[in-house]
Chain A
Amino acid sequence: MFVRLSFDVVALAALGGLAVAAVAGLLLSRRRHRAKARSRQPGVQMMMDLVGDAIVMMNAAGQIISWNSGAASMFGYEASEALGLMIWSMLPAGYEAQYADLFVGLAEGSIAPPRHPVEIVSMRRDGSSLPTELSVSTWKEGNDGYVLCIFRDVSERRRMEAELRASTERLHGVLEGASETAIIATDEQGVITVFNRGAQQLLGYGEDEVCGILDLAEFHDAEELAARARELNVDRGLEALVGAARRGGAETREWTYTCKNGDRIPVSLTVTAMMHDDELRGFIAVARDLTAQRRAERRVAYGNEAFRTAFDSAPAAVLLTNSDMTCAHASPAFCELTGYTPRELKQMSMLELIVSDDDLDPEDVLARENRNFASVLQGRTPVHHSERRIRRADGTAVAVREHTSMVVGDDGEPLLWVTHLEDITQEQRVERALREALAGKIEALDRLEEIDRQKSDFVSMVSHELRSPVTSIIGYLELLGDGSYGQLAPAQADALGVVARNAARLEQLISDLMTMSRLETGRHAHLQRAPVDIAKVLREVTSSMQPIMKRRSQPLTLDVADNVGAVSGDERQLEHVVTNLLTNASKFTPEGGTIGVHLRRDGDRIVVAVNDTGMGIPREELSNVFKRFYRGRGDAVANVPGTGLGLSIVQGIVRQHGGNVAIESEVGVGTTVTLVFPADEQELSVRPMALQSN
């Protein structure tokens, strides 16, 4: 086809339609009055000239018989030049035969003119082409057929259409590209015409499932829509969405969308009315998925809630102080501690809480506080710990330990001080009580020591005072006994013997008491320390004890290993120990029993053991034998003279020498007392040289 017959949806402009009707009417009347036709009715011509369109009339041959000013300016031919030309001079060349057939057909009525204007490229005189829209009418007058062509210049419209197309394409590009944002466009009825990729992703529907099928309200929660409809006092769900937009501009609201798969998602929906020349053309809805935001909001809300709960339920008193020292927030425990209500705290400076011993004004207090908190302010430490007293609402002071840290704002300046306070009143009270108790204990201990010392001094003094009379008793007994005052009768001598025995016992008791007293008052500081040849001590003591043992028929054996070494200590005291042990062994062993003394070396220790085949000590009494004045129970022991101090003295002296005493015993079998001393290493290292010199 030589003519592109585009039956556009766009309706013929009203003016164009009118012009055709009017011009046709005029021409007809002119044809009817042919006589007058040549004279040209100026009204018709004027009207035709007023029209910007090119109005051209042809006879059946296609020869131009009428040419208005619009045609003149459109095609570049004056009327005088155009009249008589064939109309296809204005049409694309090369189709003249077809044009001729077409115009003949039109003029004869065998071809119906197109009902709508057709788009056609017209040719101008200067050879340029012009997009035009051509309306064709035909009529007959008698046997003659005529064709009326109205060309309208559509170059401007084409340009605008092209622009519109481009901008529409751009818009589509934008819409499609905006996959993060759901964009839905509708017509004025709310039926969806555009459903971009974002919308598809959000709702799960494909474009073809939606466009031209569903309306905007389709995805909404019916109840939300109904509620909104009631608010706006409208009756349709869709109006709840677009009502506000329709009345003026955009409206953004949050809604719940239901996706194709049934998921419900929160969205923020902005609906805008699309107006064109004050006429509603549709709506554009932009939806933003709020799921992530809601989740974040829930997290924040949860966080706030968790924080508040933790803050308010904490047993610790917590205070948030703004950088200007006003109270930002105080936990209930803090309010309880200070006696202030949260409202009162909000209205006061936290500096007022500080009890300062000196009468500083608030600025100085603040300066001092800042100095105290310098390490925190300078970021050297995260928390400042201090103890202070704070003023309560009732005027009393409470001792607290505070832990203060700082929250820094975005600008790097201190934003908040977070202070945890512990009431340490109780703690201090306990501490004070403990200190007092301790002081009391120390005092009591001092007193006890003083009493102990006094007791020891007393014992020492008493023992000393006892010695003088005992000296007289023993001295005169001796004079009486050796006949200094004349010979005694046997009975008198026996009686004197009883007195002498008891005097000796009394003397021993006094001696033991003095030794105990000395050991207890710690006079071991005066212990003479020298290497003591323990083997020599054993030999000497056993030899001096031999006569007594012999009298009691108690064989005494001494078993001394070679080169045992020395014990560092006081020889006289060690003699005392061995004497006590041998005395005990002899006293508690019946006549005929045996007594053994053993000395051996065991590593860096020296072991002395004294054993007997005596009466033995019951197991339950063994733990008591080192106690002062303890004497075994039973008749056998009662008949043995003694003070109950012997083993206490042994233990005291052995311990002074850094040693230990152990006792083993079996009733009826015998007793073994074992002494263990640390060897005197110094002496051992000297010994080989001494041997060499020999």
Chain B
Amino acid sequence: MTKILIAEDADDIRELLVFKLKAAGYEVHSVVDGESAVRLAKSIMPDLVVLDWMMPRMNGLDVCIALRSDPELHSMPIMLLTAKGQEIDVERGFSAGVDDYVVKPFSPRELVHRIEALLARTRSVSIEAFIARTST
């Protein structure tokens, strides 16, 4: 089963995401701060991480950077949730290594669609990488 790690300090939104993603058939783990997210990601090796930007103890961008610097986790798909919807913020997010970016408020249905799309893209990239590696 595909594992998704959610890091979100707002209980309502976290529970909404957990509910929606479980309903969509994923194995969902959730934490309420950045440090826990990094720790848990290393132990459970999720297939995708959904990070809120503004979190206590370690914000989403720093979590993203920490995961990208870990050789085991550096290719993990990461989705950033934020209320910051401005170009500069989007740019900062992508430069930190975020794969997708969802601005609050969002529709849970749309979010599920985006997660599916991101996972599909990651898998195809992995296959390409596998083909590329085997062909050389």
Residues of B close to A473: CB separation below 8 A: 105
**Minimum CB–CB distance for B79 against chain A, Å:** 14
Which 4 A-B pairs rank lowest in CB-CB distance, beginning with the nearest? A467-B83, A471-B105, A472-B12, A471-B104
Is A474 among interface residues, defined by CB-CB distance under 8 A?
yes
| Interface-side segment among B15-23, B38-46, B56-64, B68-76 | B15-23
| Interface-side segment among B27-35, B84-92, B128-136 | B84-92
Residues of B close to A476: CB separation below 8 A: 12, 16
Given A474-B107, A475-B107, A478-B109; A468-B10 close (CB under 8 Å): yes
Is A482 among interface residues, defined by CB-CB distance under 8 A?
yes
**Minimum CB–CB distance for B64 against chain A, Å:** 19
Question: How far is B105's CA from A473's CA once the two chains are assembled, in angstroms?
Answer: 9
Within 8 A of B (CB), among A33-85: none
Q: Is B10 a contact partner of A472 (Cβ separation < 8 A)? A: yes
Best-surrounded residue of B23, B87, B88 (most CB of chain A within 10 A): B87
Residues of B close to A526: CB separation below 8 A: 87-88
Q: Pick the contact of A471: B20, B23, B87, B106 (CB < 8 A).
A: B106
Within 8 A of B (CB), among A461-517: 463-465, 467-476, 478-479, 482, 484, 507, 511, 514
- Majority SS at the chain A contact face: helix
Question: How far is B106's CA from A478's CA once the two chains are assembled, in angstroms?
Answer: 10
Residues of A close to B23: CB separation below 8 A: 484
Question: How far is B107's CA from A507's CA once the two chains are assembled, in angstroms?
Answer: 12
Q: Pick the contact of A523: B86, B104, B109 (CB < 8 A).
A: B86
Residues of A close to B20: CB separation below 8 A: 475, 479, 484
**Closest chain B residue, CB of each to CB of A518:** B86
Given A472-B16, A475-B13; A507-B83 close (CB under 8 Å): no
8 inter-chain pairs at a CB distance below 8 angstroms, sorted by A residue, are: A468-B83, A470-B104, A473-B105, A475-B16, A475-B108, A476-B12, A526-B87, A528-B87
Q: Is B109 a contact partner of A470 (Cβ separation < 8 A)? A: no
Is A4 among interface residues, defined by CB-CB distance under 8 A?
no
Is A572 among interface residues, defined by CB-CB distance under 8 A?
yes
Which residues of A come within 8 Å of B, CB atoms? 463-465, 467-476, 478-479, 482, 484, 507, 511, 514, 518, 523, 526, 528, 570, 572
Residues of A close to B85: CB separation below 8 A: 511, 514
Q: Is B87 a contact partner of A464 (Cβ separation < 8 A)? A: no
Question: How far is B18's CA from A412's CA once the two chains are assembled, in angstroms?
Answer: 106
Residues of B close to A514: CB separation below 8 A: 85-86
Given A478-B108, A482-B109; A471-B19 close (CB under 8 Å): no
Q: Is B86 a contact partner of A472 (Cβ separation < 8 A)? A: no
Given A464-B83, A514-B85, A523-B88; A471-B109 close (CB under 8 Å): no
Question: How far is B86's CA from A514's CA once the two chains are assembled, in angstroms?
Answer: 9
Q: Pick the contact of B105: A470, A518, A528, A572 (CB < 8 A).
A: A470
Question: How far is B86's CA from A470's CA once the two chains are assembled, in angstroms?
Answer: 18
**Closest chain B residue, CB of each to CB of A485:** B19
**Closest chain A residue, CB of each to CB of B20:** A479
Q: Is B88 a contact partner of A479 (Cβ separation < 8 A)? A: no
Q: Is A479 a contact partner of B86 (Cβ separation < 8 A)? A: no
Question: How far is B84's CA from A473's CA once the two chains are assembled, in angstroms?
Answer: 18
**Closest chain A residue, CB of each to CB of B103:** A467
Interface string of B97-136 (1 = CB under 8 A from A): 0000000111111000000000000000000000000000
Residues of A close to B13: CB separation below 8 A: 468, 471-472, 475
